Amino acid sequence: MLKFISNKGGGESVDFETAILDGFAVDGGLYVPEELPEITLDQLKEWKGLGYVDLAFEILSLFIDRSIVSEEELKDILKTAYAPFEKEEIIPLYPLKTRKDTFIMELFYGPTISFKDVGLAFLVNLVNFFLERRKEHLSVIVATTGDTGPATAYFAAGKSNIDAWVLYPKGLITEEQERQMTTLQHANIHPVGVANCPDGGDDLDAVISKFYANKTFKEKLNLSSVNSINWGRVMMQTVHYFYGYLQVVDEVGEKVNMSVPSGGFGNLCAGSLARKMGLPIKYLVAANNKNACLDRIFSKGEFTKEAIHETASSAIDILIPFNFWRYLYFSIDKDAEKIKNWMDSFKETGNLKFDEETFETYKKGFLSNSATDVETLTLINEIYTSENYLLDPHGAVSLQATDVLKQQLGKEKLICLATAHPAKFPETIKKALITKELPTQATHQSIEIAKKRCEKVYLCDYDHLEEALMHAMETNWDLTKGA
């Protein structure tokens, strides 16, 4: 049976169910599979033509032991998870007219219209499946830069075995994103708007980790995590790399390039693992905005936490790409001791320079860029004007990187991941387009509905977050669980 271990090497190996329900490993590391499954070209050829859900079933089956989730159960979970997606293909690919062999992977047709739906649809339904079987209840806390929150809230809403606490930095996400969280009326969903976060979403993560470290509190509320610390998110996100690849290639075996708008490196970590498993990806492009942490890692070998910039692509205003550690673990032959030293040292100092050998090893197959807001907005306008296709700011960051890196990328087909629907960012779209008007592509029915609902939200100041949230969570727990 495939087991999971911490990338920092501490603790025992655990089975899949434990890895999913724990979120974090006991030593604060990230769970990784002991072995990455390998996929041959013959296997890939057999998968060409499969729909997204059927392909997901094949890939997830490599990680999930049948004694833990049976074939029928896995099929059921996947079917339930992806039923609310708007497009039959789940993840359509749009071929750009003005760029040769370039496809936009539209990851935003889930119910909260961002790529977070893709991972969380599966993970939340899987967690719920385990909880129902164990007759247990669990509380999750997530911090959001605008998209994790709505997706977690949507998929957890009404599930009686889960309470979801969804923290967002007030004023640093769009009103549309905020309303996606605050207008759900379900008793088990608790949005928390936090004012005055100096470092945006990263601040919230810092408080959340204190909660996980508080053993008494963690046990009382049965706390877990569904952010991209959770292996289930990363595992699920490998699927769209395989799916996109199989959709665009003429012949299985040819290489393609993929560009990913990135913040926490969760999506890219999945891409890098897909490649390690055998998917023929030539380059993965880490597309940053002005918060260029990954660009520094891949161009200079420096992992540094710097002051945050507010940008037009706010979902990737993230300072610490913690899933980089998961990728690095596999990149340096699973040397957990090295990972532990680096992770601990970074946690202490916020500053790390990798030795030359490590740098050369992990940057193989990666390119990076950081786009300015002006470049991002200009590109949105260009693509809209030239072919009436509207990118959201994150999709634009991804395409912008490949324009800059064209020479290095070469002639292979290119897939740019577009991670959000433009309807989540109407103000930016208005600013970008020379018409200064909002086209219909920048609206979405789900957002229009949310605008007409009442809001239900906890509000507090960052200074008091820890105390206020702990009080709110305990009170809710005592009231609803009758303790």
Ligand X SMILES: *Cc1c(COP(=O)(O)O)cnc(C)c1O
Chain residues binding ligand X by CB under 6 A are 114-116, 147, 228, 261-268, 315-316, 394, 419-420
Residue 418 Cβ, how far from ligand X at the closest point, in Å?
A: 8
Catalytic pick among 116, 290, 363, 424 = 116
CA-CA distance, 430 to 435, in Å (whole number)? 8
Contacts of 483 by beta carbon, 8 Å cutoff, 6+ apart: 477
Beta carbon nearer to ligand X, 221 or 276 = 276
User: Closest approach of Cβ 262 to ligand X, in Å?
Assistant: 4
CB atoms within 10 A of CB 314: 27
> 99 vs 421, which CB is nearer to ligand X?
421
CB of 171 to ligand X, least distance (A): 17
- Closest of 401, 403, 399, 396 to residue 377, by C-alpha: 396
* Whether 203 contacts 464, CB under 8 Å: no
Cβ proximity to ligand X, 224 vs 228, nearer residue: 228
Task: Enumerate residues 6+ apart whose C-beta is below 8 A from 253.
Answer: 41, 44, 280
- Give me the least distance between CB of 114 and ligand X, in Å please: 5
Token match 């200079």: residue?
A: 300
For ligand X, the closer of residues 69 and 208 by Cβ is 208
- Whether 116 is catalytic: yes
Question: Across the strands, what pairs with 281?
Answer: 256
Q: How far is the CB of 376 from ligand X (least distance, A)?
A: 12
Min dist. Cβ of residue 313 to ligand X (A): 7
Strand bridging mode 366-370 / 281-288:
parallel
Judged by beta carbon, residue 17 or residue 199, the one nearer ligand X is 199
Contacts of 181 (CB under 8 A, 6+ apart): 144, 149, 150, 153, 166, 168, 189, 191, 457
Residue 417 CB, shortest distance to ligand X, in Å, is 8
Query: Quick one: 17 or 295, whose CB is closer to ligand X?
Result: 295
Residue with tokens 């090295």: 338
Question: What's the CA angle centered on 110, arms 107 and 115, to 5 degrees?
Answer: 35
The two structure tokens encoding residue 53: 């859900």
Q: Report residue 226 as tokens.
A: 């569904």
CA distance 119 to 233: 5
Report the SS3 class of residue 92: coil
At CA 139, angle to CA 113 and CA 182, rounded to 5?
40
As a three-state string, the secondary structure of 41-84 is HHHHHHHCCCCHHHHHHHHHHCCCCCCCCCHHHHHHHHHHHHCC
CB-side neighbour CA atoms (13 Å) of 118: 31
List phi, psi (to 5°) of 332.
-105, 40
Q: In the complex with ligand X, which residue's Cβ is closer, 44 or 285?
A: 285
Instruction: State which residue, 110 or 264, has the beta carbon closest to ligand X.
Output: 264
Distance CA 467, CA 475 (A): 12
Exposure string over 354-368, b if 16+ CB within 10 A, otherwise e: beeebbeebbeebbb
Going by C-alpha positions, the residue among 4, 114, 56, 95 that lies closest to residue 241 is 56
CB of 153 to ligand X, least distance (A): 14
Residues designated as active site: 116
